[in-house]
Every structure is written in structure tokens, then in C-alpha cells.
Amino acid sequence: MLHKGGIIYILLLVTLNGATECGITGGRVAKPHSRPYMVSLQIQGQHVCGGMLIRQDYVLTAAHCKNCYQDITVVLGAHNISNKEKSQQKIGVRKYHVHPQYELSGGYDCDIMLLKLEENAKLSRYVRVIELPKKKEKIPANTICEVAGWGKTGSEEPISDVLRETTERLQFSFECKHIWKEYFNSKHMICTKINKTEGGICQGDSGGPLICNSMVNGITAFTFENKCDNPKYPHVFTNVHYFLQWIKEVMKD
């Protein structure tokens, strides 16, 4: 039986004691600024999570990216996060909207958060909003989807300075339930299977998007500790379709 210590918020780059761990495993470097909705969430200048701009004043990410003691800075328009690119915009967070059921679940279900920015992002060729699905719909298993991030390039590798991308294939929910047991909620989550050739998400990619059919379908959540590139363990994402109503309610203010 799995215990909570066996699952990591993997994909989060800051450990509980605050130290940084040394993106996408495999895959390729993304064409610079080809994903202008991508966001790097940083604490004291260090990348900790990904996210996506869904309105000029709101970023969508994972709830476990919230640090109780340190403020997050949202970095938009970045390709190389180690450089001070002229395209980059750095904006503080005015309010953290963590889903109310997240903590009640023990910190693995309803892993979704909205960040209200202190000021509107300035839209440009480098900074764009990504459109959310209009309604709930089920994406069939074996659909090939895209992932991207600045996370570790392997379980024992450092993070990537530049945005990387690859594809993962949606897996049947019953297969994920078999592996993850009570940690997998088929209503709130979707999962993918990977292969060594294509690679996939790893630590530091939390909060980034799973894009299927050119639409955001998931938010990077978790996999097994130190085994992000092991195809035995499905990668798990928060199901954006399920939480559309909550997202709309939060953004009404």
C-alpha cells in the first residue's frame, strides 16, 4: 500500500525545508516564446513551479505550489529563466485562491489554485492568454497531449534554464486507479503514460499544462517519488474540465 511519503508533489521544485532541488525529461527545447501563456512561478528568484496565464489578471497552477511562508513572483514572457530577457514581466500575487477541498483531501486531491495578480499582464507576442475549455468533456484514452515546463530533465538531473516540451498519451482511468489506489480520483484527475524516448514531466513542472486537442485539459500534479521518468508510474494531472465552474466563480471578482 502506498503511503503519503511515497508520493511527491513532484513536480514542485522546493522541498519542505526550503532547499532547492536540482524540465521535462527527454523531449526537446521549445521554440522560444512559442507558448506565450507559460508562466514560471518563482520564490526569491528561484523557479519552483509552472503555471499558465488564463486572463490578464489570473494564473492557473497547482495548489501544492503555494508556499505558506514566502510570496510567489509570477514571471511571464520567459524562455530562458536564467536570463533577464527584455520580454519578461515579473508581477506579484495579490491573492492565492487554493481550492477549499485541497487541504481536506490531505494535500493531493483538488490540487488546483488561481493566482490573482497585483496588476494586469501586458499582452504582447511574448505574453498571451490561453483559452480554457468551454464545457466539461471527456477526452478519450490514448489521445496524445502536450506538456511543457522548466523542471528537471531527469530524476537525477538539474532543472532546465530553457522551456522544454514533449508529448504524453492519456491513460485509461482504471489503469491509473490500479496503480495509485486511493490517491487517484477519477472525477478530479486524469493521467498519462510515458515512454523513455519521449520523456515527460518531472520535478519543477508542477502547475504546468497538459494540452490535448489544443485545449488545456490538465494541471501537472504528481507521480512517484524520484521516478518521474519510470513508465511504470502514470503521471497525474488535475482535471481542468471538472473545476471549470469553480474557476469561473473565483474570477468573477
Q: Which of 40, 160, 173, 206 is catalytic?
A: 206
Collect contacts of 94-99 with beta carbons under 8 A, ≥24 apart.
94/118, 96/66, 96/72, 97/250, 98/63, 98/66, 99/63, 99/243, 99/246
Active-site annotation holds for 33: no
- Buried (b) or exposed (e) across 173-201, using 16+ Cβ within 10 A? beebbebbeebbbeebbbbbbbeeebbbb
Q: How far is CA 155 from CA 23, 122, 123, 212, 246, in A?
A: 10, 36, 35, 25, 34
The residue assigned the cell 485562491 is 97
Residue 221 contacts residue 113 (beta carbons within 8 Å): no
Beta bridge partners, 169, equal 144, 193
Q: Cβ(20)–Cβ(13) under 8 Å?
A: yes
CB 74, CB 38: distance < 8 Å: no
Q: Which of 111, 160, 229, 241 is catalytic?
A: 111
Q: Taking a C-beta distance cutoff of 8 angstroms, is the pair 30, 194 a contact?
A: no
Q: What is the DSSP letter of 126?
A: S
111 counts as catalytic: yes
For 5, half-sphere exposure in the C-beta direction (CA atoms, 13 angstrom radius) is 0
Is residue 235 annotated as a catalytic residue, yes or no?
Answer: no
Residue 21 has which C-alpha cell? 532541488
Catalytic residue, from 33, 47, 64, 188: name it. Answer: 64
| CA–CA gap between residue 179 and residue 247 (Å, rounded) | 29
Which residues are known to be catalytic? 64, 111, 206
